[in-house]
Amino acid sequence: MKKFFFALLLVAVISGSAWGLTYTGSITSGDGLFGTAAWSTGASLSWVVVYDVDSNLWTYTYTFSVDRKSPSHEIIEVSSGDTPFTSVNIKDYTGIGGTGEIEGPKTFTPGDGNSNPGMPGNIYGIKWDSSPNGLIDTWTLVTDRQPMWGDFYAKDGKDNGSNVIAYNTGFGHDTETVIGNGNALDATTGRAWALVPDTDGGAPPQEQVPEPGTVLLIGGGLLGLALFRGRKAGR
């Protein structure tokens, strides 16, 4: 009987992983997120990334929150590799505050004249315009691109003459950290990243998702084996 219930539990675990993957993580002021002026404390970026095996699409949901000085825009990096992320890879999205305003994918450059003061370097990404006076921005991107570790940048105006900006501490640097929960924080350097859309589609290699039919076969075999052994033991 114990083997029977173990098989049921194993089938449930495998089946749950087969119908999707979910990754979560965050960076905060002083812990993976560098902020200036009003955002030197109390700022955070969090994300939930969900893979749907039926549609073969990824949904990226981001939330950037601050204690004061509402953001004017946020930029999330997308892959600029051999097969760069293009508008074709945007299957759906939601804007901040219902505005629906996005720009890109394109290369955004640093500088006051480019509306990105204090940004450490160029970023190939998508920009979301924020809603006025909001302290919590949430936006969503649906794409066929699996996640990678990448960069984030946000800005407001000025606070007592200083630019109000925030970006991940690993901005402009690469990491070989395996895709997963968290923020790929490097304890030695203090660098951290956010999950953003990569070059490749489908499930990431280290988290390949079996087809539902395969799961049913595996689950049925495990369950049948448990029943067979249970009957044999009862003879």
Picking from 20, 21, 39, the residue whose alpha carbon sits closest to that of residue 30 is: 39
> pLDDT at residue 97 above 50?
yes
Has residue 10 been placed in a domain?
no
Query: What percentage of the chain carries pLDDT values higher than 70?
Result: 77
- Strands 90-94 and 136-143 turn out to be antiparallel
Write a three-state SS string for 133-159. Answer: CCCEEEEEEEECEEEEEECEEEEEEEE
The tally of domains found in the chain comes to 1
Contact 74, 136 (CB under 8 A): no
**What are the tens digits of pLDDT across the range 109-118?**
998 788 999 9
pLDDT of residue 205: 52
Taking the C-alpha atoms of residue 154 and residue 140, their distance in angstroms, rounded to an integer, is 16
pLDDT of residue 16: 43
Has residue 1 been placed in a domain?
no
Lowest mean pLDDT among 36-45, 109-118, 196-205: 196-205
**What are the tens digits of pLDDT across the range 141-172?**
999 999 999 999 999 999 999 999 999 999 99
Taking the C-alpha atoms of residue 200 and residue 25, their distance in angstroms, rounded to an integer, is 21
pLDDT of residue 131: 80
Has residue 227 been placed in a domain?
no
Contact 217, 175 (CB under 8 A): no
User: Mean pLDDT over residues 43-67, rounded?
Assistant: 98
Has residue 221 been placed in a domain?
no
User: What does the block give as tokens for 114?
Assistant: 């480019």
Contact 94, 137 (CB under 8 A): no
The β-bridge partners of 124 are 107
pLDDT of residue 19: 56
**What are the tens digits of pLDDT across the range 204-218?**
654 444 444 444 444
Long-range pairs of 32-35 with CB within 8 A, sequence gap ≥ 24: 32/168, 32/169, 32/170, 32/183, 32/185, 32/190, 32/192, 32/193, 33/166, 33/167, 33/168, 33/169, 33/192, 34/166, 34/167, 34/168, 34/169, 34/171, 35/165, 35/166
Has residue 64 been placed in a domain?
yes
> pLDDT at residue 140 above 90?
yes
Has residue 162 been placed in a domain?
yes
**Amino acid in position 232:** K
Domain boundaries, position 59: 21-210
Placement of tokens 């675990």 in the chain: 13
Instruction: Give the mean pLDDT of the chain.
Output: 84
> pLDDT at residue 35 above 80?
yes
Has residue 182 been placed in a domain?
yes
How long is the chain?
Answer: 235
Taking the C-alpha atoms of residue 149 and residue 231, their distance in angstroms, rounded to an integer, is 50
Has residue 15 been placed in a domain?
no
